Amino acid sequence: MSNEDDDLARAIQLSLQETTRQPVLINLDSDEDEDEEDRRFQEEMKAAIEASKTSSTRNESRPQPSSSTPATQQSNGTSVVSAFLSERAQLEKERRERQKRLRPQACTSVEDEDMEDAEEEPPAKRQQLSSSKFSYVRPNGSVPSANGGGSDVSNTARSIPTIDQVFWGGELRQTATQHAEPRKDGLPTFRLTEVLGKKSELEFAILSSYSLDWSWIYEFFDRSVPVIMVAQPDASGEATIKNVLPNWVRTTPYLRAGFGCQHMKFMLLFYKSGRLRVVISTANLIAYDWRDMENSVWLQDIPLRAKPVQHDPKADDFPAVLQQMLLAVNVKPALAAIISDNHPNLSIKSIDELRQRWDWSNVKAHLVASIAGKHEGWPKVIQSGHPRLMSVIRKIGMRTGTAKTAKNLILECQGSSLGFYTTQWLNEFHWSARGESAEDWLDKSKKSREKLPYPSIKVIFPSKATVQQSYAGEQGGGTIFCRRKQWAAKNFPRSHFYDSKSKGGPVLMHSKMIIGMLEKNAFTGRRTQGEPSDTEDDTDTDDDIEVIEPAAGWAYVGSHNFTPSAWGTLSGSSFNPTLNISNYEVGVVFLLKDSKEADGVACFQRPPRKYTSTDEPWIQEESVYHQNA
């Protein structure tokens, strides 16, 4: 091994030692009262800096990496993790100072209100104590390691055996967690090593995560493999590209005024055989999310085409939407940088080649992305957020109609963060989930929309008792977010809350999932191309509707929490709508043939238990543990 490799190994080992301690939690939730927010920030920043100083003192006697490695750019021998926390604290301070300067301009527009309602997750997660058509055999009967889900914290990523399964038809599974193995429901799971496949077979990867542990995820890849990491921007919100590790480039998309977050969790894994694996996940690239917290992973392997097809600028299929999304999160210049920096022979040279060179014909799921920003006019509006969901619902033939004979859609919306729900927004989302256009209500007055009853939506969120009864107890609830002022808000839909309990065992979930089911016997088939339904005008047809078997509903899984910040808020007129979205998000939508399949797909127990009069949601700010953390 070269001196450079020795130095890098030592630097990473120091970082890995740092991550075994409880990391400092810097909470980026921005809708707190300003005084409390500032107090908490000052305490958190002080703790982060103290942790960094302690790390410097402790590491002075240890071998230090040479100046030839990126890890040594951290002064005084501080670890990658500690330095990152300290840097993030300073950036967060600058963001909040800028936010204070902007506060006097009261939130008078829909855009401003949406920006204020940013539900974010902490950049440093608290580190505390799967329906399938494919057979699942654990290597050597072993329990998953902490590096990829499970309980053996002594193993490293290098020593974990890997099953190289291929999923040409797509696969959805929950992740393995150390306190629910084997799962109570008997379903197979994914761990990170199985998602990534054999190290030696990987040629190139594009990854995305909100929370990141660089030294941890770096160990899962051979050092020669180039990787693009789509990450959270700094407090300025500017798009950037930066080399962060040998052969690794970090790219960040633009966020208006630094508000919102890059919340996508996806992977594009390119193998030496030519195969491409697409992964849509709810898990951040940190050990906690792959070991202690249950998450969802959808993936599908895509073969190379026998012959490339021509670029189609009008395409709206899975790869076309994927390409648009990659452009939005600043992958194009990062790919150019990787190629020009010692990797000219990658199997992909431009984003457009994804659709041209790989065969997506077996992909039945539909991609739904949210692109942060202000989108004006129908051509742009329907490409993102819940209007994009609306267009997908139409594509798969699940539009409910609006006449008296329209089918009733019941939504079960599960996630790890809650929004400030109003009857206006819940009806707005439900309308899109039914496949109906916002043109029908955008010109109606706000007052009339405020009087609408809540639609058929069940909000699936863990009760306080469920968190307390989980294996880790209240310690495990550090990445599940509901505020007292949300729950106590006037007209908040408290009667629509249902408990979120894993089917796998006494563990908490970081998954984000929506199950949309038509009421029993309300829908028995799907119309074919160009054939009008009995609930619509004959002149209103969907030319691109798919011709597939009857279905009872659909499922969504991805990074979107059920919040306005993730799915967007519509305003403007039916002629010229405006969609404001705070976050970058991505997920997939696919059909469910019946209630039994919905039960198998759902990460939570169905039917969910409705809150009683004595139930309350888990509110971590009121937990003694988290107050003292």
Length of the chain equals 629
DSSP letter string, 485-518? HHHTSTT--GGGEE---BSSSS--B---EEEEEE
Give the CA diameter of the chain. Answer: 79
**Buried residues in 410-423 as b, exposed as e (16+ CB within 10 A):** bbbbbbbbbbbbbb
Amino acid at 605: Q
Q: Hey, what are 455's tokens? A: 């639609």
Helices assigned H by DSSP within 105-227: 110-116, 192-196, 214-218
E strands, 317-447, in order: 366-370, 373-376, 409-414
**Contact predicate 373/581, CB 8 Å:** yes
Task: Kindly state the tokens that stand for 197.
Answer: 């496949």
* 626 catalytic residue (yes or no): no
Long-range contacts of 223-228 (CB under 8 A, 24+ apart): 223/5, 223/8, 223/247, 225/199, 226/338, 226/343, 226/346, 228/331, 228/334, 228/335, 228/338
Catalytic residue among 179, 263, 375, 386: 263
Is position 364 annotated in a ligand binding site? no
User: Does 512 appear as a known binding residue?
Assistant: yes
Bridge partners (DSSP) listed for residue 250: 229, 242
Retrieve residue 37's tokens.
């927010």
Catalytic residue among 366, 430, 510, 560: 510
Give the count of alpha carbons within 13 A of 199, CB side only: 14
179 is catalytic: no
Strands (E), 113-239: 171-175, 189-190, 202-208, 227-230
Residue list for the binding site for substrate: 265, 512
Give the residue numbers marked as catalytic.
Answer: 263, 510
Residue list for the binding site: 265, 512
